Amino acid sequence: MAQVTKTTDRKAAVQVLKNYVNGEWVESKSTQTLDVVNPATTEVLGRVPLSTRADVEEAIRYAAEAYEEWRETPPLTRARYMFTLKSLMEDHFEEVSQILTKEHGKTLDEARGEVRRAIECVEHAAGIPTLMMGYNSETIAPGLDEECILQPLGVFCCLPPSNFPSMIPYWFMPYGVACGNTYIIKPSSEVPMTQNKMFELIDEAGFPPGVINLVNGSKEVSDALLESKDVKGVSFVGSTPVARYVYSKATAGGKRAQCQGGAKNFLLVMPDALIDSMMPAIMNSVYGCAGQRCLAGANVVAVGDDAFYEQLKRKLVESAKKLKTGYGLDETVQMGPLRSKQAKEKVLSYIETGIKEGAELILDGRNLKVPGYENGYFIGPTVFDKVNPKMKIGSEEIFGPVMCLIRAKNFDDALKMIHENPYGNAASIFTQSGKWAREFKHRVQAGDVGINIGIAAPVAFFPFSGWKDSFFGDLHGQGFDAINFFTDRKVVIERWF
């Protein structure tokens, strides 16, 4: 399989990706491109254009034009495009998953899981005729009726990160479009191949020209989107500093914005937790996608006595050691490489820092070599013991396969650690106790909460929450929040003579 893939890759390597604007595949006006690199093989998979402001403005113009008719299209008709898109995504499920693995590095199973989530959002958006209903009240005064209707706003855009090339744009786009808005996606320039394929499916689904558009590129594209008067809102996912920047810039221009930032998620292991049963969840949480998830467990906090702690530590290291790291297309592989050379270097630098800060490196993934992929950006599962949550490695987002093991005296102490960290994306507890679970879910200052769950990723029907410095805005992606974000309320009061 690998051989065939490589041949395909070689051919693809010369390809410069196009933009998809107004229902057509068009070349960017730009002459600048970036290489898209398979992080396991270091092969160049394609080249992504750094589109110009003019490219963006054209896309916005077409999207704004398309909006006039799209908003008048009945919700059920709009929903039916989603039904079609869902079918096409099912038909091309494996193909999209493979492209995703090649450009991002995550394992094929992880890619499949991600694409499944993207489909789920399309399925949810197919329910728009119900989701977008307004509400009304007869006779608020004699002869007066009042109703609230939900209407779309215009052109929206999404600026996703590199870690979930298929899924993250779909936390937003299907809702935005189903609500009657038109849309522009600017994929991460590191991983544009997956959306390139997915836009082929969008094209095949037959959406009217201009309804969903793709513009490849980098900061110039983003800034042009953020600065355009015709763009009514932006959905961003990335690091906290950039999330702040986008939120502030977008809102200063009067736009709506929902900006997800970084995370540092704690996994609380209570002394009554069934460690063996929980181990797969913890491993997946910390090492899944090589730790490059905003829901990744980073700090494992053991609450309990020495014996419990030692036992937990031993089992964690044992389990981590057993994980097979390699090229994601190999179905036996459990962890892929970091997304890029820079990403790997950043993680290595954090490991150095951790050592300097006095944490104890009890499993070191730095020297891992994957046979056949010696140049790949791999780091093996890594574990630090004796981490203090105030250390850099205990408080900052490493975004790599590095577990920080922390001890807490008791539940309240552990909760305090979580609350002192500036992020509030996700937090999980492992316990058999209904009492601890209730206390945790009620009190913890985090938007996505897991009880005996390692990755508390809300299904499409619920908002993907995030609190504190992990989110800027008041309406999240997915769920009912998405509907409120992508519509405005219009209140009508009427009486007749």
| Residues in 412-431 that interact with a copy of itself by CB under 8 A | 431
* Token code pair at residue 303: 């609450």
The residue among 356, 353, 349, 404 whose CA lies nearest residue 381 is: 404
Among 7, 8, 277, 349, binds a copy of itself (CB under 8 A): 277
The residue among 234, 162, 172 whose CA lies nearest residue 192 is: 162
Nearer to a copy of itself, 50 or 79 (CB): 79
Nearer to a copy of itself, 36 or 257 (CB): 257
User: Minimum distance from CB of 479 to a copy of itself (Å)?
Assistant: 7
Among 387, 465, 477, 482, binds a copy of itself (CB under 8 A): 465
Q: Is 494 in the site for a copy of itself (CB under 8 A)?
A: yes
Residues 141-160 that bind a copy of itself (CB under 8 A): 141-142, 144-149, 151
* Token code pair at residue 106: 């995550």
What is the total count of residues that contact a copy of itself (CB under 8 A)? Answer: 97
The residue among 386, 326, 340 whose CA lies nearest residue 361 is: 386
Q: Which helix (H) or strand (E) holds 235?
A: strand 231-237
Among 183, 327, 377, 464, binds a copy of itself (CB under 8 A): 464
- What values do phi and psi take at 256, rounded to 5? -80, 150
Question: Three-state SS for 23?
Answer: coil
Q: Is 459 in the site for a copy of itself (CB under 8 A)?
A: yes
* Span from 31-39, 371-379, 392-400, 458-466 in contact with a copy of itself (CB under 8 A): 458-466
DSSP 424: E
Residues 207-236 that bind a copy of itself (CB under 8 A): 233
Q: How far is CA 22 from CA 182, 225, 233, in A?
A: 11, 16, 19
Residue with tokens 């290489």: 35
Q: Is 458 in the site for a copy of itself (CB under 8 A)?
A: yes
Nearer to a copy of itself, 306 or 494 (CB): 494
Nearer to a copy of itself, 49 or 75 (CB): 75
Q: Is 315 in the site for a copy of itself (CB under 8 A)?
A: no
DSSP 291: G
If one counts every other C-beta atom within 10 angstroms of the C-beta of residue 272, the result is 13
Among 7, 311, 375, 432, binds a copy of itself (CB under 8 A): 432
Gap between the Cα atoms of 419 and 414, Å rounded: 9
Among 76, 311, 324, 390, binds a copy of itself (CB under 8 A): 76
Residue with tokens 């089992």: 315
Nearer to a copy of itself, 311 or 432 (CB): 432
Gap between the Cα atoms of 471 and 426, Å rounded: 11
Residues 123-142 that bind a copy of itself (CB under 8 A): 123-124, 126-127, 129-142
User: Minimum distance from CB of 248 to a copy of itself (Å)?
Assistant: 4
Nearer to a copy of itself, 27 or 272 (CB): 272
Among 87, 218, 239, 353, binds a copy of itself (CB under 8 A): 87
Residues 317-336 that bind a copy of itself (CB under 8 A): none
Q: Is 467 in the site for a copy of itself (CB under 8 A)?
A: yes
Q: Is 288 in the site for a copy of itself (CB under 8 A)?
A: no
Distance of CA 168 to the CA centre of its chain: 4
Q: Is 25 in the site for a copy of itself (CB under 8 A)?
A: no
Catalytically active residues, by annotation = 294
Measured CA angle at 171 (ends 328, 429), to 5 deg: 70
- What values do phi and psi take at 322, rounded to 5? -75, -15
Q: Is 105 in the site for a copy of itself (CB under 8 A)?
A: no
Residues 234-253 that bind a copy of itself (CB under 8 A): 244, 247-248, 251-252
Gap between the Cα atoms of 97 and 126, Å rounded: 22
* Token code pair at residue 459: 């299904």
Q: How far is CA 416 from CA 126, 294, 407, in A?
A: 42, 21, 12
User: Minimum distance from CB of 264 to a copy of itself (Å)?
Assistant: 17
* Token code pair at residue 124: 């949810």
Asked if residue 483 lies in contact with residue 131, where contact means CB atoms within 8 angstroms, the answer is yes
Nearer to a copy of itself, 232 or 407 (CB): 232
Measured CA angle at 291 (ends 113, 122), to 5 deg: 30
Residues 253-272 that bind a copy of itself (CB under 8 A): 254, 256-257
Gap between the Cα atoms of 275 and 81, Å rounded: 46
Measured CA angle at 425 (ends 419, 429), to 5 deg: 70
User: Minimum distance from CB of 64 to a copy of itself (Å)?
Assistant: 14
User: Minimum distance from CB of 363 to a copy of itself (Å)?
Assistant: 26
The residue among 433, 469, 475, 474 whose CA lies nearest residue 452 is: 433
Among 1, 14, 72, 306, binds a copy of itself (CB under 8 A): 72
What separation, in Å, do the N-terminal and C-terminal C-alpha atoms of the chain show? Answer: 75
Residues 180-209 that bind a copy of itself (CB under 8 A): none
Q: Is 435 in the site for a copy of itself (CB under 8 A)?
A: yes
User: Minimum distance from CB of 207 to a copy of itself (Å)?
Assistant: 17
Gap between the Cα atoms of 387 and 384, Å rounded: 7
* Span from 7-15, 345-353, 394-402, 470-478 in contact with a copy of itself (CB under 8 A): 470-478
